[in-house]
Structure 1
């Protein structure tokens, strides 16, 4: 033991990698017995400076690391490390003015207060319902994520213990803190990670969240027991007061709180704003401090009482109101001191002091990977896909504030010294930092979604079950979409599953969420009950009621109403991922404009157009955009003639390409509905138009082989599309030739203007027009129509039909297939040229099994 003098500090070196710091505090007294200088005047400015600096660095790291999918927790840890002895803390001015020893007391006090309220929010956000309904996979993952990492943490502790010098003795309880630190899966951070990756409502996300609930609950119970035993110096009876408090809280306080909350809600049920006010929120926040005080008396940290109190508050409007009011303050103001304390205790420069570098690497690698490996092995044993198993293992390795709390508690009982504490902090950074990039690569990469981009109606059987994702922005969109689903031919043998999604802009929350509705209650994706009135969603109840009424009137339709709360910029990702996870075939969207009383259009919301455009570019299935002008299903009686059923007349206008084949596929399905009359009109370019188009393509040649390949690639793609069009039309005609409700017509036309003229003069009295968007299609028949295109999401023909001055009545459904066909590779094109598959005489190649009939030739 030795004494060192560093300025105003007297540093006493001791054993076991610890030292004591003593300093003299100057106080000014007046001539009276009272102290003139307030002691807080020295500590408070230091604390305010520390808080400002850690918040500044946190925000900076968030801006820098968000593009590489790093959660906020990583930025907060890095901010504390930068201000600590690993980086800026080695500068004398920083250590003496920002991180002086005398500021540690207030910093830790505020950090403990922040941890207390944060754990209350964790308990408030956590719901134990999924634990009771946990599946085999989630339960197995949770158990493996508890047992194996705990054994790994304890094993690492004793491995380090054996490698240390004999005079460095540590308590055996330190191994328990190592075990708990590796066991923890941060439920709040995992939920935000899944939300940012748009995976929260997938099967993977729900399994991860359910497992995290059980893992966090088990880790919390273990931490309570260990802290009580350590504070009681190993005497087990010291745990009894804590256990008694938990029993009284759950079986006496919780029923009373539920009764009080329910009574307040019933008393203010008529209120449209909120059934709870500021007074109830203040009472609950006071209860947090009171429960924390009781657990401190019992010998454990106040955070345990706060967490228990949060679990007792019922989820719903009250919980949401509390979260909205204090979450940002707790996370943004009260919690940063915890990360600064962690950074001050971390020193990466001295990680290998008194330890070999091999031991350091082994501990960090094992600590970072033991939970991933255990989860991966269990998932593979259950025959889960390797991709999902790896992603689930990485997700279960998500750490958060609770892991930091465990490390600091272990540091307080000397289970960690500065070196091993730094090892674990680095391991936690590695664990959490890899979650976003790995899961993003396995479940968000183009390679993963590529094979799903072919889900569409064209390749589905007409009689197969149809899975539809119907998106509505407001109640104005409901009637048109429901009437469209009415004529989509739902039968008991071949039903339709409708996921009715109410798209709501994200406001007042940190992360997006998905809310499921049923007749008894409204829940989010992990089972937390939510009151729709609390979010001002009276309109949501109206939408849900409309779709439930639709289901009651047609038992061949299964409807699952839900609400997607997300920002407009990323709303398409929520819709696309949900469609991908549920195997949806077609997404139905309302047109972003609404008809006004004067026959024109009104821009309802340009942000709705943004969602539509993003879905058209990224959706994993087909898209249908409905321009509703009062579409009416055919089963309604016509006037007072109840013995007659109204006919619904549908016109399908076919040009060319995958979008038009998709439109024909949907029209084909509708034709099976009783009372629906379908007329398919195919527009074929006249001979002069074909010759002109081919000669124009031939004039674009050159001597360069690459240019020739591009020209022949375009010709190859066009020939392939023509073959697909003709094959699908032939199949349609053959299978419907005896159906009296279906008519097929071919029209030879020379231009887009002629198409418009024919529609206006001959086909202007239909209830519904179905066309393809024709995205990326180049046809001589549409030349001239693109000069005045203002709504590219409808396509050229769709926009013409949707114009208010073109058709005063008749709704329009514009279809786009999931994704364009890939371009022909150059080597395939070169091979095709050598085989003479492309003709250079200006005549189109022969199309097998096709016999184009004259105009107006019916069968």
Structure 2
């Protein structure tokens, strides 16, 4: 007896799942005592399927929700479920309740995030327009859905289901607009800052709120069983909503301020309170007969928006929700979706009718409403196309109807196909109706077809007066906090001094002071770039960009810099995908008629500049150190994108590690090796403008190559035509007609993203040589030009030493002169043109020798750096001859 008792106790103490795979147990076998192993397998398969489909559909610019829904459908009875044993092994029916529990937990968290994403201020700012579009986008689809529900009910729905319930769910499914998916489509198509984007966001918020209210009413009516009970449920739900939006919201705001969550992000205690509130609201709404997701949605509306608190809360939750929980929910939808049930003509006829009626209701209602409100037909139709986006919100409605027994599996599958079709249609339809060249940003009036997108006012503002050729409108690009010192240094370089130094006060004449007053007032547009990712928090930042302008630390620092320097600084913030950073900068500079884009470039590390090739050179620091893909490599691709897409002059400031920005106000000397071409002519004008500052002096050397053999026998041959063509073929990114600024007639040449160009023709070289000679004469011999009467110009040129140098190795000669100046000058800034476009010579041979001299094998980024800043800039950085280098590229209006 005792032995039996002992063995019984030992058997009860056996660990669950002991042994496992090693003992031959099937890890996919489901047991109610240990469901975790199969759950992990299910989650892994679901996430991998969703991510693989997302990679494919991303190429078609489709939102991620389509990949998740398609993944669920493929894993269900439509595709993989037809494989013998797949469903029984991976998704056995007894395991689905566990999967459903986790999926519904995630759904509640997702609806909480949707509530956080909704900003009532967006609706308030566009209340009249959004109300008209939103109501029209609900009323007409609801009516069409109610009409279509009559034949659908008689053909496919069990008579035990009340027709009223089915009609309500059909109308709600037709009326809904997927606000979260809509935000992502607007961001992907770069419509967030357009008139259409603003009105669609506002109408989408209102549509979402009304849609969830209708869904709550429908669920309450179904669960109540009688109209009177449904009325009581509705009244309790309204009272609970008012209770949350008034006293509870006040308490949550007070608690956020008390705990410092608004200033410093949510504390652990505040996060705990928020999570308790979410589940308490979900429990209450589920208890009174309304779905739990409605309570979670209301909890999101209660969280205060001050200080970006809602954004920070979203950042803490969104990854787990979007990566794990939502794919689980959509897989459950896919397991309930069997497209094989659409197996006859009448079913397909009704499916097509569902799609057509749904699109006609949304598109027609919203288009007409927008047209009546004053939009043109193109903008109105785009609003209609965007509002017809369904996405995951309709899927949630459909799943609620399926779980309530209102929808049959066949009708559910028909509506899922309608959801996928309309969501997939949204992006290509909007691109066809509203191409980029026809888009109007907020505050812009309609422009005539073929007109300049900058507008007439900005076109005039961007013109540089030849009598006073000073660039005074700048766009400063701010990306990271680490770039602030370089951005300040470059900005301060181009500013006129607040007052001349005391030791040169006696030489400053009244005439010079008068000329200084004639120089146009400097204005700077500081553009902060924030990456727009797939995360909900990134979307929220884009919708509240106006408020982020006043709280962003990078912009705040630069704004204070402007105040200290009596500089007019206007701040802007752009939330765009990383791949669109360059395009956003180019368009921003165009809209604000900037004369020059100031772009900082800071290496990851900045030790002291080395003087010999045996130590870590400045090149190694700028290249980003060792590794296959350094941060600077990635940033250099972004910089090359700005060079390629900008239709404005660009100045790139490279801090090689000597902390140039820390003492930019002291006396400084500038060195420019002038080789010729549009970029060097821009660099020459830039140096002259720098020398308006009495603290700046400069040395400008016109470099000319002579094909001679030195005594040592080291000759440099002129590159062959074949070599030039090979290099052009490998580096070419785009071809466009070139119209150099101030070079006379239009000249056709090859323009590339990088600094490698096709071989110029004799005609293009003659035009460029003529422009080079004119620019050199204008500045090197001012008495022979119209600038002789300009005293500001005379004083600037008096601080510049011009000379000519001929050498068989001009890059080496320029590098030696830079080193000589570095030894005699405490602060040396090197200015160089980016490319040798339209110039006579190629530096390929010299660059090869320089790389052999200074470049240590194993350091990545050589070719990337050379493509980014050009041969001259690379040579200057390689030699470690300056604390900072400014590389300039002249604008070409034909560059796409």
Q: Same fold (TM over 0.5)?
A: yes
Q: 1:290 aligns with which of 264, 280, 292?
A: 280
Contact 1:495 1:557 in 2 (8 A): yes
Of 825, 828, 833, the residue aligned with 1:772 is: 833
The CA deviation at 1:448 is 10
Q: Decide which of 799, 809, 814 is 2:874's aligned counterpart.
A: 799
Among 480, 484, 490, the residue aligned to 2:493: 484
SS at match of 1:335: helix
Give the whole-Å Cα distance in 1 for the aligned partners of 2:200 and 2:795.
Answer: 51
Distance in structure 2 (CA, Å) of the matches to 1:529 and 1:800: 44
Q: Which has the higher strand share?
A: 1
- Residues 1:603 and 2:621 aligned together: yes
Report whether the alignment pairs 1:339 with 2:365: no
Residues 776-811 of structure 1 show CA distances to partners (whole Å, capped at 9, x for unaligned) of: 55632746432225541222222344455434x6x4
Match of 1:496 among 507, 512, 523: 523
More helix by share: 2
Which residue is equivalent to 1:736? 787
1:430 correspondence with 2:430: no
CA distance in 2, matches of 1:204, 1:490: 43
The answer to whether the 8 Å contact 2:495/2:522 transfers is no
Aligned pair 1:259/2:244, yes or no? no
- Secondary structure of the 1:361 match is helix
Question: Which of the numbers 231, 244, 248 marks the counterpart of 1:249?
Answer: 244
TM-aligned CA distance change 1:552 to 1:319, over 3 Å? same
Corresponding residue for 1:7?
A: none
Aligned partner of 2:639 in structure 1 is 615
Deviation of 1:324 (Å): 4.1
Q: Is the 2:701–2:804 contact (alpha carbons within 8 Å) kept by the matching residues of 1?
A: yes
Unaligned runs of 5+ in 2: 1-7, 17-29, 441-449, 498-515, 611-616, 625-629, 710-715, 726-748, 751-757, 852-861
Offset at 1:119? 0.8
Which moves more between the two structures, 445-454 or 774-783?
445-454
Structure 2 vs 1, CA of residues 128 and 528 (structure 1 numbering), >3 Å: closer, same or farther? farther
Partner Cα distance (1:486, 1:402) in 2: 53
SS in 2 for 1:588: strand
Q: What is the CA-CA distance between 1:69 and the residue it aligns to? A: 3.0
Match of 2:297 among 273, 296, 307: 307
Contact in 1 for aligned 2:488/2:558 (Cα 8 Å): no
TM-score by length of 1: 0.71
Residue 652 (structure 2) aligned to one of 617, 625, 628: 625
Deviates more, 1:235-244 or 1:125-134: 125-134
Deviation string 1:291-334 (CA, Å, 9 cap, x unpaired) is 11111233211111111112212245754554344333333443
Q: Decide whether aligned partners of structure 1 residues 372 and 814 sit closer, same or farther in structure 2, where only a CA change above 3 A counts.
A: farther
Q: Is the 8 A contact 1:80 1:342 kept in 2?
A: yes
Is the 2:475–2:525 contact (alpha carbons within 8 Å) kept by the matching residues of 1? yes
Rounded Cα–Cα distance in structure 1 between residues aligned with 2:700 and 2:237: 76
Q: Distance in 1 between matches of 2:587 and 2:125?
A: 24
Report the Cα offset of residue 372 of structure 1.
4.5
Residues 656, 156 of structure 1: CA spacing in aligned structure 2 closer, same or farther, 3 A cutoff?
A: farther
2:27 maps to which residue?
none
Q: How far apart are 1:468 and its partner, in Å?
A: 0.2
Most deviating of 358-367 and 156-165: 156-165
Q: Does the 8 Å CA contact 1:686/1:748 hold for their aligned counterparts?
A: no
Deviation at 1:818, TM superposition (A): 4.9
Tell which deviates more after alignment, 314-323 or 616-625. Answer: 314-323
Q: What pairs with 1:455-474 in structure 2 (closer than 5 Å)?
A: 460-462=463-465, 466-471=473-478, 473=480, 474=482
2:598 corresponds in structure 1 to 588
| Counterpart mapping for 1:117-516 below 5 A | 117-134=109-126, 142-158=134-150, 160=152, 171-194=163-186, 208-232=200-224, 233-235=226-228, 236-265=231-260, 276-315=266-305, 316=307, 319-320=310-311, 322-351=313-342, 353=344, 355=346, 357-368=348-359, 370-372=361-363, 375=366, 393-412=384-403, 416-436=407-427, 460-462=463-465, 466-471=473-478, 473=480, 474=482, 475-487=484-496, 494-501=521-528, 510=535, 513=538
Equivalent residues of 1:649, 1:767 under 8 A apart: yes
Contact persistence 2:77–2:337 (CA under 8 A)? yes
Distance 2:606 2:406 in 1: 70
8 Å contact kept, 2:600–2:653: yes
Map of 1:843 onto structure 2: none
Provide the residue aligned with 1:827 in structure 2.
none
1:340 CA drift (Å):
2.8
CA distance in 2 between partners of 1:630 and 1:491 (Å): 33
Greater mean deviation of Cα atoms: 467-476 or 753-762:
753-762
Post-superposition offset of 1:254? 1.0
Conserved 8 A contact 2:674-2:680: yes
Partner Cα distance (2:438, 2:121) in 1: 36
Question: Distance between the aligned counterparts of 1:296 and 1:721, measured in 2?
Answer: 76
What residue in structure 1 maps to residue 627 of structure 2? none
- Residues 229 and 796 of structure 1: CA distance in aligned 2, closer, same or farther (over 3 Å): same
Which secondary structure does the structure 1 equivalent of 2:874 belong to?
A: helix
Q: CA, structure 1 residues 158+58, in 2 after alignment: closer, same or farther (shift >3 Å)?
A: same
Comparing 108-117 with 781-790, greater Cα deviation is found at 781-790
Match of 2:62 among 70, 73, 77: 70
Q: Please state how far the C-alpha of 1:513 moved relative to its aligned partner.
A: 3.6
Contact 2:542 2:575 in 1 (8 A): no
Report Cα offsets for 1:361-412 as digits up to 9, x if no partner.
2332342465455555666677768877666555444433322111223335
Q: Is the 8 A contact 2:175 2:211 kept in 1?
A: yes
Whether the 8 Å contact between 2:494 and 2:689 is mirrored in structure 1 is no
Q: How far is 1:252 from its partner?
A: 1.3
TM-score normalised per structure 2: 0.69
* Structure 2 residue matching 1:68: 3-state secondary structure: coil
SS at match of 2:116: helix
* 8 Å contact from structure 1 (residues 634, 675) kept in 2: no
Conserved 8 A contact 2:312-2:537: no
Please tell me whether the aligned partners of residues 678 and 838 of structure 2 are also in contact (alpha carbons under 8 angstroms): no
CA contact (8 A) 2:184 2:539 kept: no
Query: 1:300 aligns to what SS in structure 2?
Result: coil
* Conserved 8 A contact 2:454-2:591: no
What's 1:557 paired with?
A: 568
